[in-house]
Chains A and B, each alone.
Chain A
Amino acid sequence: MSRLLIQLGFFLLQNPFLHNFFSGRIYQGELKSFCTPGLNCYSCPAAAFSCPIGAAQMFFSGARHTMSLYVAGFLLSVGVIFGKFICGFVCPFGLLQDLLYRIKTPKIITRLRFLKYVKYAVLAIFVVMLPMFFTNLPWFCAYICPSGTIFAAVPLLGANDFLRDQIGGQFILKAIIAAGVLILSVFILRIFCRVLCPLGAIYGLFNRIAVLRMRCDKKKCTGCKRCNKACHVKIEPAANSPECFRCGNCVKACEEGALSCSRE
């Protein structure tokens, strides 16, 4: 079974209420109390669960508690088991970017030497500090998140005249960011995940110690470097870099079968 099919399966598992895309309503059942591991906006009409980044910001931005223990515990336990495997196989926005990257165009294979650190600043500033210390707004959701713009705003605004009449500068800013991410995703693999995603920044921190991580069998490895050449993120596959989102290209490229993504 290919990774794409698994991603589609997880997309449907997290977004089973597809008919809501046409009615312009969102699911309002009890499942919304729980978070999903991927970046899946809770205002997406089809979403069954809540977004962990959105939920965390809600608490930071002035609900009863300053920090959500539930969300912190959820991210910690998911991160320590799966690491960025979530980004590669579960995240719906990752799926969208992977589909766009399949469009046949010349690709820009780059390490994003400095830009890759932007996501940590986004996490610290837009997800934690601005909502906590300045205004009661979930800043990342309100001004950046392209997942919310594409999966929630577009279908809801498309189906609801009243909401459409409220469009202003904030939506235009989000739409520009979303359009930029979509266009760049055609040329650069997972540009949003690698530069802006605060959830990926958190999961990436667990990549080196996650239960499910890349392993290399030294006895089989011939040092041919085919895995390095196959990597579109330009990292050392067996090093479990925080940038690795487990696309599996390196595993496929290894003819000796030395690489695997596995548990102990």
Chain B
Amino acid sequence: MKKFFRIPNRDRLNANCNSGMQTGMKIRAAQILLFAVGIVLIALGVLRGELSEIFAKGSLVCLECIGLG
């Protein structure tokens, strides 16, 4: 498992098979942007009370999910 989660050092990163340095920076920018958008959406959803709607659905047996509705 250690092998699977190994964090590569900077040299290995630069030699990444998938991408060069510039592509790596573009990917990093996309990650930050998408993550920020995700957090904003979560906050907006919470603010407009979506959690209570999810709770209302999830706290009762969903008849559709068990093939009866």
Residues of A within 8 A of B (CB): 1-3, 6, 26, 28-30, 32-35, 41-43, 49-50, 54-55, 58-59, 63-65, 68-81, 137-138, 141-142, 145, 148-149, 152-153, 156-157, 163, 166-168, 170-175, 206, 208-211, 215-219, 221, 238-240, 248, 251-252, 257, 260-264
A261 near B17: Cβ-Cβ < 8 Å: no
Q: Please name the residue on chain B nearest to A49 by beta carbon.
A: B58
The answer to whether B61 touches A26 (Cβ under 8 A) is yes
Distance of A65 Cα from B8 Cα, bound (Å): 44
Contact A32–B64 (Cβ < 8 Å): no
Contacting pair A32 B54 (CB below 8 A):
yes
User: Is B35's CB under 8 angstroms from A80's CB?
Assistant: yes
Q: How many residues of B contact A (CB 8 A)?
A: 49
User: Residue B38 contacts which of A76, A137, A141 (CB distance < 8 angstroms)?
Assistant: A76
Q: Which residues from chain B sit less than 8 Å from chain A, CB to CB?
A: 1, 3-8, 12-13, 15-18, 24, 27-28, 30-31, 34-35, 37-46, 48, 50-55, 57-62, 64-69
Q: List 27 A-B contacts (CB under 8 A).
A: A1-B1, A42-B65, A43-B62, A50-B57, A69-B45, A69-B48, A72-B38, A76-B34, A76-B35, A77-B34, A77-B35, A77-B42, A78-B38, A138-B64, A157-B66, A167-B68, A170-B67, A170-B69, A171-B68, A206-B34, A210-B31, A215-B17, A216-B16, A218-B17, A219-B12, A260-B6, A261-B4
